[in-house]
Amino acid sequence: MESVFEGFCTGSEVLTKYADRWSKVSFGVPVLDRLTGGGISCRGIFELAGDPGAGKTQIALKLALSAQHGVPGSSVVYICTEHLFPSSRLLQMEAAHKRQYPEDDTVHAHNFADHILVEHARCVPTLLTCLFDQLPKLLEKTKISVLIIDSITSPFVEEKNYIQRAETFRSLVHRLHHLQEQHNFATLVTNQVRSVIDSATLDDQRNVPALGLAWSTLVHTRLQLSRKMNSNERRCCVVFGPSLTPKHGFYQINELGPVDAI
């Protein structure tokens, strides 16, 4: 896409002159909004990486509900690559969400689940077809506030041609940036983690996001999630983000989904 020079403006003017461009979509979880300065930006790729059971999908579902509050009349696109879409869990969270607003008739009348548009893409070709062909056609007639890919890892984990895989990453992200520029929506991807051990000492095991540096260099903001064994408490750390400082917070999972830890 050829960019159009729009003229210089001051650092303070850019926030008002292009407000839609730099708006954020709330997670609906106070601790996550505090860590990210209000939620997910409508520019760039926002990643949640974390341990199994840390709550990546739960946060994604909560975001899908919250986004419809923040951008009335919008829908959410949810692409599953690992498992069937958790419809029963979504409906449970939707019912709990409505109970939070007993006096708000608008919330009670809104069918949140009907505005979450689900697709399954188990392999790279299917995922690319979805993002390069189906999604642009949808965006021409439907306003979306968030695109969720849960997870980005699964289609690529068996790819052994790492040069080709890196090229596919760049092509995919370039396409999403182009669509964000046209339609102003946030993009959240979840990512698995893998264990690495310090090769010098053969200890100091730690979990790092999957897919390596080729993918990491294309991510705008990354949060990493972890959980304590035999506990409902989870930890969220800011790994990097252009306007964020490294910090962490704690959350739990209940019928509402992710909530601040008590």
State pLDDT tens for residues 29-68: 999 999 999 999 999 999 999 998 899 999 999 999 999 8
Q: Which domain does 146 fall in, by range? A: 24-260
Please, what is the average pLDDT of the chain? 89
Q: For position 181, what pLDDT does the model report?
A: 92
Q: For position 86, what pLDDT does the model report?
A: 94
Percentage of residues in the chain having pLDDT higher than 90? 69
Average pLDDT estimate for 62-75: 87
Contact between 221 and 241 under an 8 Å Cβ cutoff? The reply is yes
In a domain, residue 6? The reply is no
Q: For position 21, what pLDDT does the model report?
A: 73
Least confident piece of the model among 68-72, 94-98, 181-185, 218-222: 68-72
Average pLDDT estimate for 218-233: 91
Least confident piece of the model among 158-167, 205-214, 229-238: 205-214
How far is residue 190's CA from residue 72's CA, in Å, rounded to a whole number?
25
Residue 210 sits in a domain whose CATH number is 3.40.50.300
Q: In this structure, are strands 234-240 and 248-254 parallel, antiparallel, or unpaired? A: antiparallel
In a domain, residue 201? The reply is yes
Q: For position 70, what pLDDT does the model report?
A: 67
Query: Which run of H or E residues covers position 13?
Result: helix 13-17
Helix 87-99 with 56-70: angle, nearest 10 deg: 50
Contact between 190 and 177 under an 8 Å Cβ cutoff? The reply is no
pLDDT band, very low/low/confident/very high, at 209 (cuts 50, 70, 90): very high
Average pLDDT estimate for 94-98: 90
Amino acid (one-letter) located at 63: L
Contact between 59 and 48 under an 8 Å Cβ cutoff? The reply is yes
**118 contact partners, CB below 8 Å, separation of at least 6:** 78, 79, 80, 85
In a domain, residue 12? The reply is no
Among residues 111, 97, 109, 69, the alpha carbon closest in space to that of 255 is found at 97
Number of domains in the chain: 1
Provide the 3-class DSSP secondary structure of residue 152: coil
pLDDT band, very low/low/confident/very high, at 129 (cuts 50, 70, 90): very high
Q: What is the pTM of this model?
A: 0.90
- The pLDDT tens digits for 242-252 are 989 999 999 99
In a domain, residue 237? The reply is yes
Contact between 62 and 259 under an 8 Å Cβ cutoff? The reply is no
In a domain, residue 10? The reply is no
Beta strands (DSSP E) in 69-168 are 75-80, 116-120, 144-150
φ/ψ of 138, rounded to 5, equals -65, -45
Among residues 118, 107, 108, 41, the alpha carbon closest in space to that of 78 is found at 118
